[in-house]
Chain A
Amino acid sequence: MLEGLKAFLKGFFSSFKEQSTEYIEFEERELENVFALLLMGSFVGIPSPPSTLVLRLMPHMVREIYVMQRRVADMDDIFGEMAGMFDIT
Chain B
Amino acid sequence: MAVREYLIPKEGFRVLFFIGKGGVGKTTGSAAVSVTLSKKGYKTLIVSIDPAHNLGDVFEVKLNDKPKQIAENLYAMELDMEKLIKAYLKHLEENLKHIYRYLTVINLEKYFEVLSFSPGIEEYATLEAIKEILQKGDEWDIIIFDTPPTGLTLRVMALPHIALIWTNKLIEVRRKILDKRRAIENIQGERKFVVDGEEYKLPSREREDPVMKELLAYRGEIEFVRDIITNRDRTSVVAVMNAEMLPLYETERAHESLKKFKIPFNLVVVNKIIELEEEVPKIKVRMDAQKKVLRKIHKKFRDVNIVKVPMFEEEPRGLEWLERIGGLIVGD
Contacts and interface: CB of A to CB of B under 8 A. Distances in A.
The yes or no verdict on A and B being binding partners is yes
B170 to A, nearest CB: 6
Interface residues of B, number: 48
A52 B159 CA distance: 12
Contacts of B214: 53, 56-57, 60
Which 8 A-B pairs give the minimum distances between C-beta atoms? Answer: A28-B180, A60-B210, A49-B166, A59-B95, A42-B118, A50-B163, A31-B177, A21-B184
Interface in A28-81: 28, 31-32, 34-35, 38, 40, 42-43, 48-66, 69
Secondary structure class of chain A's binding surface, majority of residues: helix
Contacts of A6: none
Secondary structure class of chain B's binding surface, majority of residues: helix
A50 B159 contact: yes
Contact of A38 (B92, B106, B173, B193): B173
Contacts, number: 108
10 contacts: A21-B187, A35-B177, A42-B115, A52-B218, A53-B166, A55-B92, A60-B210, A62-B200, A63-B193, A63-B200
Given A49-B167, A53-B166, A61-B211, 19 more contacts: A31-B180, A35-B173, A50-B124, A50-B162, A50-B166, A50-B218, A52-B124, A52-B127, A52-B128, A53-B163, A53-B167, A53-B214, A57-B214, A58-B95, A58-B96, A59-B96, A60-B211, A62-B99, A62-B102
B124 A24 contact: no
